[in-house]
Structure 1
Amino acid sequence: MTGRIDIRPVTGGNATGGRGSGRPFWTVRRRDNLVGYLLITPQLLGSVLFVLLPLGLVLWYSLHEWNVLAGTFEFVGTENYDRLLADANLREVLAGTAVFSVGLVVFNLALALLLAILLNQRLRGTTFFRTVFFSPVVVSLVAWTIVWQFLLQDDGGVNGLLGAAGIDGPNWLRGEGTAMSAVILVQVLKNVGLNMVLFLAALQGVPAQLYEAAALDGAGAWTRFRRITVPLISPTILLTSIITVVGSLQVFAQIAVLTQGGPGMSTTVLVYYLYQQAFQFHHFGYGATLSVLLFAIVALLTVAQWRMRRKWVVNET
């Protein structure tokens, strides 16, 4: 015997927690990964239960004819999609949806940006007007719509003001030429404050030195807006456009309260037509098929806007 003591580490799994490697199983990296998975688990479960599962059920229902009153649930394959392609009313519905969406997006974004520019000035009273323009956002949608329903009637407040000025106003919600414009106006005034706040935050992040340098070089107000303001707030423009487009395609309460899709089908948008087919006519299978169409349109427009950002959004590659 030499008297030397073997001090080599024991490599057994029981002594170190590893499996022959000598390293502990719960390393810092694995603990961090576990914490990350635990943090995203609630959101992941919510996405599965309230997004992926409903989408799967809608696709499944679109392949069936479900009559709740008769208690039947029959597999029909692609019959509902064939009916979708042959639906004579669908073209008019999609046209009305396009008119509403384009009108809402254009007027909402334009008015929100204009208000944000005006309220970004260092003037007295801007805080009060910011509150006034944003307050409709927090008001109940149904309450807001009911109030405007009374204001836009033939003998309502709007025509009362026009009559005081000697103008004979139309029946806004019952005329085919004015009903859609009235619905767009109500929705624009309801949500313009949200986009206004987003634009206002973006404008306050634009360095004032850029405007001063451009003014010294002789750039006018329009040139400064086009060359400085718009490029630097383009990420916010992208965000607000996506939010507004998606919201415009999902409008329902305003149509249901103000016009019920009329007169005729002049204000019947896709979501309201879906509601009519599923819950008024009890064609749940066809209603699910219209839901699939709505999802496809929303996804297509969102992806298109996201891909086009590289052409006009600053610092996007």
Structure 2
Amino acid sequence: MMEGWLFVSPTLIGFLVFFLGPLLAVVYYSMTEWNLLTQQATYVGLRNFENALLENPDFWLVVRNSVIFAIGLVPLNMALALLLALALSRPFLGVVFFRTIFFAPVVTSAIAWAIVWKFMLQGEGGAVNQMLSWIGIDGPNWLRQPSWAMAAVIVTRVIKMVGLNMIIYIAALQSIPRDYEEAALLEGASRWQIFRMITWPMLAPTTLIIMVLTTIGSFKVFDHIYQMTGGGPENGTLVLAFYIYQQAFKFFNVGYASALALIMFVIVMILTLVQVMIRQRGAE
């Protein structure tokens, strides 16, 4: 009995220290008015949640921005990852090189990646606008115009993380038996019919996993917003994770930030459950 507890103790201690403990602390702090500078905490019950959900208009702006970011990022990331996986799932000369090229941004420092893109997306001096000028297009100041800033952050984030989903899709494609495809080809099926009737249904479990992970990641995005836009312009890219950071470490409202963190946890959990339920109904 004791030997078993000794074997699981590292995992158990890690769970208590790094997950359960902080989670309980956030629940406690969310019901207090605690200023990080004064270190004074006053119990206020559900006041922080009422303030966020019923009184603070900025909260719903932030939620809207987070939803827009997720709606823009998740489908684009998944579609591009699937296209790359279909192109790179079979062996050909140079396939390893191309897989490495598309996966390299995943292991690149997110801050370094954001800094580079911040310079590239500047106004007239940015590399992107200079290349657009070669074909007669006058590009905008991507990160300083509200109508373009969100799109710029979404696209740069997709390029950064698409390689991870590409690798997952490649592994799933390579696990599909080739017998199905060969039999369909003998029956005269086209490539599109094979993909629609065989490949895509067999990728459904992998697609669900990728969708859930990408959705969760889209709500947790912080580094790109912090480095590229700082939530601007005009709060156009102020998403929930960055808003929580502002409340906790810029305005020092730890209690309110903890309440926001729990709200974000509930939102992500609900979205995850909805995706799982939709997948289950589709399978039925």
Same fold (TM over 0.5): yes
Residue 26 (structure 2) pairs with residue 58 (structure 1): yes
Paired AA for residue 48 in structure 1: L
Deviations, residues 79-100 of structure 1 (Å, cap 9, x unaligned)? 1112112111111111110011
Question: Displacement of 1:125 after TM fit?
Answer: 1.6
Name the counterpart of 2:186: 216
User: In 1, distance between residues paired with 2:149 and 2:211?
Assistant: 24
Name the counterpart of 1:94: 63
Name the counterpart of 2:48: 80
Question: Displacement of 1:245 after TM fit?
Answer: 0.9
**Identity over aligned pairs, percent:** 45
* Structure possessing the higher radius of gyration over alpha carbons: 1
User: In 1, distance between residues paired with 2:274 and 2:25?
Assistant: 26
RMSD between aligned residues: 1.6
User: In 1, distance between residues paired with 2:254 and 2:139?
Assistant: 41
Name the counterpart of 1:159: 129
Identify the match of residue 109 of structure 1 among 70, 73, 78. Answer: 78
What TM-score results when the alignment is normalised by the length of structure 2? 0.94
Deviations, residues 177-200 of structure 1 (Å, cap 9, x unaligned)? 110010001110111001101100
The 5 A counterparts of 1:132-281 are 132-154=101-123, 155-281=125-251
Deviations, residues 2-45 of structure 1 (Å, cap 9, x unaligned)? xxxxxxxxxxxxxxxxxxxxxxxxxxxx6xxx655433322122
Which one has more relative contact order, counting CA pairs under 8 Å at least 6 apart?
2
User: In 2, distance between residues paired with 1:193 and 1:87?
Assistant: 38
Identify the match of residue 67 of structure 1 among 35, 40, 55. Answer: 35
Q: Contact conserved, 1:159 with 1:168, CA < 8 A, in 2? A: yes
Residue 98 (structure 2) pairs with residue 129 (structure 1): yes
Deviations, residues 104-132 of structure 1 (Å, cap 9, x unaligned)? 11011100000000112343221110110
- Shift in CA distance, 124/291, structure 1 to aligned 2, threshold 3 Å: same
SS state of the match for residue 84, structure 2?
helix
User: In 2, distance between residues paired with 1:251 and 1:144?
Assistant: 14
Q: Contact conserved, 1:109 with 1:240, CA < 8 A, in 2? A: yes
Q: Contact conserved, 1:234 with 1:312, CA < 8 A, in 2? A: no
Question: Displacement of 1:299 after TM fit?
Answer: 1.7
Greater mean alpha carbon deviation, residues 183-192 or residues 214-223: 214-223
- Shift in CA distance, 165/81, structure 1 to aligned 2, threshold 3 Å: same
User: In 1, distance between residues paired with 2:197 and 2:281?
Assistant: 15
Deviations, residues 209-237 of structure 1 (Å, cap 9, x unaligned)? 21121122222222111111111122211
Name the counterpart of 2:278: 308
Deviations, residues 126-160 of structure 1 (Å, cap 9, x unaligned)? 11101100111111111111111111111211011
What TM-score results when the alignment is normalised by the length of structure 1? 0.85
SS state of the match for residue 258, structure 1?
helix
Question: Displacement of 1:67 after TM fit?
Answer: 1.5
User: In 2, distance between residues paired with 1:163 and 1:182?
Assistant: 18
Question: Displacement of 1:250 after TM fit?
Answer: 0.3
Name the counterpart of 1:8: none
Structure with the bigger percentage of helix: 2
User: In 1, distance between residues paired with 2:146 and 2:262?
Assistant: 29
Question: Displacement of 1:55 after TM fit?
Answer: 1.0
Aligned positions, number: 282
SS state of the match for residue 73, structure 1?
strand
